[in-house]
Amino acid sequence: MNPAMTTRDANLPAEYSAGLDRLSLAPLWTALHVLLPQERVTEAVPHRWRWAEMREPLLEAARLVPLDQAERRVLVLRNPGLGGAYAVTATLFAGLQIILPGEAAPSHHHTPAALRLIVEGRGAFTTVDGVKCAMEPGDLIITPPMRWHDHGHEGSEPVIWLDGLDIPLVRSFEAAWASKMRPAVVPATAIDSSQDEFTAAGVVPRASRYEDTGYPQVRWPWTTVRRALEAMAAAAQADQPVVLRYVNPGTGTFPLRTIGSEAQWLRPGEATRAERRTASGVFHVIEGQGESRIGDEVFTWERGDCVVAPPWHWIQHKNLSRSAPACLFHFNDEPALRALGLWQEETRS
Ligand code: 1HN
C-alpha cells in the first residue's frame, strides 16, 4: 500500500503553504518518495477466482438480467487491492460474459482493445468487422481498438467466456470511448470465415481477400494451439518451459499493441522456475489441475479458474497431476510496457 501523500511541509510557515494551495502549487519534496518509491510497490494483490464459485452467479445473471438491458452481460473480476475499481490489475480489466441461445449482443466499437477466451459451451459466435468467429472452448478471439464487434448464439446451451481489456490503461490516458450500439450485423458468411487464410504456421497469403486493418488474424482455435503445444512438449527438454505466444502472422509480433497472450503446457508433475516481470496479467486454466505461487501466496487451481499476478511478483506454476498435462492461458500488458521502455524480466536461478 502507498503511504498517504502529503502536500504540506509541516516545517514551512502555514501562511506559505496556504499561499501555495491558493495558486494550485505543491512542494514536491514531501511527496517524492511516494511518487517514486525505492522498491516496486503494487496496490493490486495476487488473487484467485474459482470457476466453481463463478458459474452459478453467471447463470443467475442470465436469468435475472435481460441482454437488451445489459448489452454485455459481464461479471467483473475486481482485484481486492484496487479499492473497488473495475480492474483486475492497474492496467487490465477481466470479466466473465454469458450469452444464451438465441440472444444477440449488439454491435459497437471502442478505443480499448479486447480479447475473449472461451470457457464453456458451444454454438455462440463473435462477429469482428463482418467476419464470423466461432466460439469453442479454449479459442482466443481479439476485437482490436475501433473494430466493430457483436456476439450471437445459434446453439442450445449457455456460452461463457473470459473478457480481457486494457480499459484501466486506456482510461489513465483519458482515451476511453465507445460508439453507440447498433443492431448486430449479419456476418458476411453463414459459417466461420476466420480460418480461411492463416491455417498453417509459416505460410501467409500473398494477397489477402480482407481489408488491411493491421489485424489479419482475429481468432486462434484451441484445437490448433493445443496440437502445437503438444508437439512442442514432446520435443522439448524436461527443464525447458513449453509456452507459445499468440502472434500477428504477418509481423510475428503481438496481435494487439497493448495486450499480449500466451498458452503454456505443463507436463505431468512439472514445476516451472520462478519468473518475475514488470507486466501484470491474468492466468486462466484451460485444462488440468495444479497450483501457482504468486509472490507469497499459493493458489490451487482447476479448469475455469482465474489467477491474477500483479507486476514484479515471482510466479511459479506446478502441474499437480502425475499423468495428465495442464494448460494455462495468460494475458498481460507486456506489449504496452515494452512500447514504453518499461519491460524487465528475471528468472530465479
Ligand atoms: C465490451 O465491449 C465487451 O464487446 C465485453 O463483449 C466486456 C467490458 C468493458 C467494456 C466493454 C464486448 C467489456 C466491454
Q: Which atom of ligand 1 is nearest to the CA of 151?
A: 6
- Rounded to the nearest angstrom, the distance between the alpha carbon of 72 and the centre of ligand 1 is 6
Residue 9: predicted pLDDT: 85
CB of 95 sitting under 6 A from ligand 1: yes
Give the integer Cα–Cα distance in Å for 245 and 229.
10
Mean pLDDT in residue range 20-48: 95
pLDDT over 80 (residue 298): yes
CB of 141 sitting under 6 A from ligand 1: no
CB of 88 sitting under 6 A from ligand 1: no
Q: What is the pLDDT of residues 116-139, one digit of tens each?
A: 999 999 999 999 999 999 999 999
Mean pLDDT in residue range 214-220: 97
Residue with grid cell 514531501, as numbered in its chain: 30
Residue 3: predicted pLDDT: 54
- Rounded to the nearest angstrom, the distance between the alpha carbon of 118 and the centre of ligand 1 is 14
Could you tell me the pLDDT band of residue 17, with boundaries at 50, 70 and 90? very high
Find the helix or strand (DSSP H, E) in which 227 lies: helix 222-235
114 φ/ψ angles, rounded to the nearest 5 degrees: -135, 150
Amino acid occupying residue 28: L
Give the integer Cα–Cα distance in Å for 220 and 202.
15
CB of 74 sitting under 6 A from ligand 1: yes
Q: 213 and 248 in contact (C-beta within 8 Å)?
A: no
Give the integer Cα–Cα distance in Å for 36 and 146.
34
| Structural domains of the chain, with CATH | 47-348 (2.60.120.10)
Residue 1: predicted pLDDT: 41
Residue 349: predicted pLDDT: 78
- Rounded to the nearest angstrom, the distance between the alpha carbon of 178 and the centre of ligand 1 is 10
Q: What is the pLDDT of residues 85-111, one digit of tens each?
A: 999 999 999 999 999 999 999 999 999
Q: 222 and 137 in contact (C-beta within 8 Å)?
A: yes
Q: What is the pLDDT of residues 38-94, one digit of tens each?
A: 999 999 999 999 999 999 999 999 999 999 999 999 999 999 999 999 999 999 999
Give the integer Cα–Cα distance in Å for 36 and 33.
5
Sign of the CA dihedral running 240, 244, 247, 252: positive
Let me know the angle formed at the C-alpha of 265 by 340 and 55, rounded to the nearest 5 degrees. Answer: 85
pLDDT over 50 (residue 247): yes
Residue 4: predicted pLDDT: 62
Give the integer Cα–Cα distance in Å for 223 and 264.
14
Q: Whose CA is nearest to atom 6 of ligand 1?
A: 72
pLDDT over 70 (residue 154): yes
